[in-house]
Chain A
Amino acid sequence: MNDTMGRYRTVVGHRLFWPTAVLVVMLAANTIYRPGFLSIELKDGHLYGSPIDILRLSAPLILVALGMTLVISTGGIDLSVGSVCAISGAIACMYISKQTDQNSLAVVLTALAMALGVALVLGAWNGVLVAVIGIQPIIATLILMVAGRGLAQLITQGQIITINSEPFRAIGLGHLLTLPLAIFIALAAALLVAAFTRRTALGMIVESVGGNAEASRLAGIRSGRVIFLAYVLSAVCAAVAGFMMTANVSSADGNAVGLWVELDAILAVVIGGTSLAGGRFFLSGTILGALIIQTLTTSVYAMNISPQTSLLFKAVVVIAVCLIQAPAFRARFTRRRRNTPPPAAIADKPKEQVPA
């Protein structure tokens, strides 16, 4: 009986347990509401169905959240990702819209390269402010968040730029091996980040910088460089996400693209168990978090509730997840429970002493 209890504790205690449970409950609720929710069908060689839609639509958020995870694990935060999405989408669409042959692959690749180049500069700007000048991350990136929206509108001259480019559209709506291309892009980014952070020492360096930047610097880690890199990476991830968002609708709107994505991304990171204080990060948790948020949004749409009302549900989820993860809340909860059966705590002690 103690064995099952122990196993129960390891499962429930696992950091991915609660996020997974929330996701499963949401999917179950959807299936009860709409029995066909989980069904997937093959049409014209492509797979269709709500689960596929959720995966495809969560791809941009996964990308942004991946970059955000690294930034947050260095103890920072990047509020500018939404604006970077808008700027990169605007640059790409602007360039493509001015070409005669919008369907040419070379044109699209040039547009993407240009936008990525600008994203690198924007990321470097954030990185310099935080790592070199030493401005508090939340305020350093607030600058680009405010000014970036203006820049995006400046690029598009306040208009919504519509383009008609098949290769660009494919980034958001294309298919590969019966699945949406966007899923593969997000997956590739996730694997790339995971490989770099978990197969090399980089991940540990990032965590050590997030834990204590000064101590890491004294230990010989160039903290400044690591922090700088995290912001650049976050901007690049945001730029790719921006391509997806604009490709989905084949148009760039400086005002609307990536609006509030920074908050969703931070939310995804927090749901995934990464602490906002930095020092520890979980990529799998972040991806799960992004899926939860997208599932929530999709379910709200499916239940015919106004999209903005989904914010209400988001608020409930945020608070629920944060409370469950908050040590103070857990302590209160467990203390109260321990108070009712006091012998359990005493019974545990001698058992540990026996093998010793």
Chain B
Amino acid sequence: MTTGSLTAGRARFRLPRRQIPVLATLVLLLVMYGIGVSQYQAFSNVQVIFNVFIDNSFLLVVAVGMTFVILTGGIDLSVGSVVAMTAMVSAWLLQEGLPAALVLVIALLIGPTLGLLMGCAIHFFEIQPFIVTLAGMFFARGMCTLISGASIPITDGFWTRMSQERIGNPQGNFVSISVLIAFVVVAIAAYTLAYTRLGRNVYAIGGNSQSALLMGLPLGRTRIAVYTISGLCSAIGGILLSFYTLSGAPLIAVGMELDVIAAVVIGGTVLTGGAGYVFGTVLGVLVLGVIQTLITFDGSLNSWWTKIVIGGLLFAFILLQRLIGIRYK
């Protein structure tokens, strides 16, 4: 009882410090939204927010997977390519006339399988995650072009229905099914990280893998699991992207891994692992989405400003994390 209250007291003392990055992201998001609303009348429309979710649902799902990997102190560079490969394989199989349900199963199996293999290479052969997932990235992107050099349109009934279905008021504000799927993924991920043994292991390994190993936590199993989860999230992201674009193209989602990493970092997850929340990642993705929306609304700013602003934000948040002194190397 006493120990319980003691740790609770300590936790309350530490709480704000740990959550400053997430709070900072939240403040930033509100400020950016405020700027948008004060500058453009149409910005206050609820649909603007919904559109940010609709346009970034696939990014959100992939970023959630990346959060797991980064929390263990690893990195997954293959996500963008796996997203593209999933969309490409689905488009190709549908074109070949396979039933939608079967295509869905196959597409959702490829990502985790690749993730599992990469996780095994990282764990059993002790090759750096950076290099293994780089190879995975090359592999998946190569597979895309091997399937087809050109974009394949999707005309399947199930896909078009998923793409065009509007949830909410079709005349007023609505979201797509992809947004709901993304929210389900976020909820499951947040639950897993906060309340399950796997989640605790992820934080423990990211905090200090050596101590985690000495404590008897299953280092290998957890590590392999996070890359598999990331692969699964990329696969779901790929399906959502194919709903969004209704096609598979060999060069879609190029450089997406960097957007994803940026979103996770802006969301307050520390790249050396051990600290961060799925909620932060959601905010990080929203920040990227709102920047995009602001630049679209402005009209006079060109798309390259997005990259410069994201770079600047990355810098600001990393500096912030450094200043608060969250365990950074």
Please list the residues of chain A having a beta carbon within 8 angstroms of any beta carbon in chain B. 77, 133-136, 138-140, 142-151, 153-154, 157-158, 254, 263, 266-267, 270, 276-277, 306, 308-316, 318-319, 322-323, 326-329
Could you tell me the distance between the alpha carbons of A148 and B258 in the complex, rounded to whole angstroms?
Answer: 13
User: By CB atoms of chain A within 10 A, which of B130, B131, B144 has the most?
Assistant: B131
Picked from B75, B131, B306, B318, the residue with its CB within 8 Å of the CB of A270 is B131
| A74 CB, min distance to chain B CBs, angstroms | 13
28 sample A-B contacts, Cβ–Cβ < 8 Å, listed by A number: A77-B130, A133-B319, A134-B328, A135-B318, A136-B329, A142-B258, A143-B311, A143-B314, A145-B258, A146-B258, A146-B310, A147-B308, A147-B315, A150-B311, A153-B304, A154-B308, A263-B138, A276-B130, A308-B145, A308-B149, A311-B139, A312-B143, A315-B136, A315-B139, A318-B135, A319-B135, A322-B132, A327-B126
List of A residues within 8 angstroms of B145 by Cβ? 306, 308-309, 311
Q: B124 and A328: CB pair below 8 A? A: yes
Which of chain A's residues has its CB closest to B124's CB? Answer: A328
Q: Which residues of B contact A158 (CB under 8 A)?
A: 302-304
The interface residues of chain B lying within 8 Å CB-to-CB of A276 are 128, 130-131
Given A150-B308, A153-B302, A308-B149, 7 more A-B residue pairs with CB atoms under 8 Å apart are: A77-B130, A146-B262, A154-B304, A306-B146, A314-B138, A315-B137, A322-B132
Chain A residues within an 8 Å CB radius of B303: 153, 158
B residues near A153, Cβ cutoff 8 Å: 302-304, 307
Question: In this complex, what residue of B is CB-closest to A326?
Answer: B125
Residues of A within 8 A of B223 (CB): none
Q: How far is the CA of A161 from the CA of B94 in the complex (A)?
A: 41
Secondary structure call for the A interface: helix
B305 contacts partner chain A, Cβ-Cβ < 8 Å: yes
| Contact A147:B310 (CB < 8 A) given known A311-B145, A315-B139 | yes
CB distance from B253 to the nearest CB of A (A): 14
Across the A-B interface, give the 5 residue pairs with the lowest CB-CB distance, nearest first.
Answer: A147-B311, A312-B142, A150-B307, A315-B139, A153-B304
Inter-chain contact A318/B307, CB cutoff 8 Å: no
Q: How far is the CB of B121 from chain A (nearest CB, A)?
A: 7
From A135, A151, A314, A315, residue with most partner B Cβ within 10 Å: A315
B322 in contact (CB, < 8 A): yes
Interface positions, chain B 93-151, Cβ under 8 Å from A, are 121, 124-128, 130-132, 134-139, 141-146, 149
B265 interfacial by beta-carbon distance below 8 Å: yes
The answer to whether B146 and A309 have CB atoms under 8 Å apart is yes
A311 touches B126 (CB 8 A): no
Q: Are B328 and A146 interface neighbours, CB within 8 A?
A: no
Which of A139, A266, A328 has the largest number of chain B CB atoms within 10 A?
A139
Measured CB to CB, the closest approach of chain A to B258, in angstroms, equals 6
- Within 8 Å CB of B131, what residues of A? 266, 270, 276, 318, 322
Chain B residue numbers with a CB within 8 Å of A146 are 258, 262, 307, 310-311, 314
Whole-angstrom distance between the alpha carbons of A146 and B260 in the complex? 12
Give chain B interface residues in 289-329, CB to chain A under 8 Å: 302-308, 310-312, 314-315, 318-319, 322, 328-329
Instruction: Give min CB distance, A199 to chain B, whole Å.
Output: 31
Point out residues on B near A: beta carbons under 8 Å: 75, 121, 124-128, 130-132, 134-139, 141-146, 149, 250-251, 258, 261-262, 265, 271-272, 302-308, 310-312, 314-315, 318-319, 322, 328-329
Q: Which single member of B124, B258, B328 contacts A135 (CB below 8 Å)? A: B328
Given A142-B314, A319-B135, does the pair A151, B329 have CB atoms closer than 8 Å? no
Contact B311 A315 (CB under 8 A): no
- Per the bound structure, the CA–CA distance linking A135 and B251 in Å amounts to 32
In the complex, the answer to whether B126 meets A138 with C-beta atoms within 8 Å is no
Q: In the bound complex, how far is the Cα of B132 from the Cα of A329, in angstroms? A: 14
| Residue from B126, B134, B319, B322 within 8 A of A326 (CB atoms) | B126
CB A288 to nearest CB in B, in angstroms, measures 17
Which residue from chain B places its CB closest to the CB of A307 in the assembled complex? Answer: B145
A267 CA to B137 CA, complexed, in Å: 13
CB pair A308–B250 under 8 Å, yes or no, is: yes
Q: What separation, in Å, do the CA atoms of A158 and B301 have in the docked complex?
A: 12
Q: Compute how far the CA of A146 lies from the CA of B312 in the bound complex, rounded to whole angstroms.
A: 9
Residues of B within 8 A of A310 (CB): 142
Contact B142 A315 (CB under 8 A): yes
Contact A328 B311 (CB under 8 A): no
Q: Is the CB of B265 within 8 A of A139?
A: yes
With A and B bound together, what is the CA distance between A140 and B149 in angstroms?
35
Tell whether, in the assembled complex, residue B142 and residue A311 are in contact, meaning their CB atoms are under 8 Å apart. yes
Query: In the complex, what residues of A have CB within 8 A of residue B272's CB?
Result: 136
- CB neighbours of A326 from chain B (8 A): 125-127
Distance of A55 from chain B, by nearest CB (Å): 24
C-alpha spacing A310/B143, complex, angstroms: 10
Contact partner of A136 (CB less than 8 A), chosen from B121, B127, B271, is B271
Give Cα A254–Cα B146 distance, bound, in whole angstroms. Answer: 27
Please report the C-alpha to C-alpha distance between residue A276 and residue B126 in the assembled complex, in whole angstroms: 12
Q: Which chain B residue has the least Cβ–Cβ distance from A150?
A: B307
> A330 to B313, alpha carbons, bound, how many Å?
43
Contacts A134-B328, A309-B142, A313-B142; A266 near B134 (Cβ below 8 A): yes
Give every chain A residue within 8 A of B143 (Cβ-Cβ): 312
User: Which residues of the other chain, A, contact B137 by a CB distance below 8 angstroms?
Assistant: 263, 315
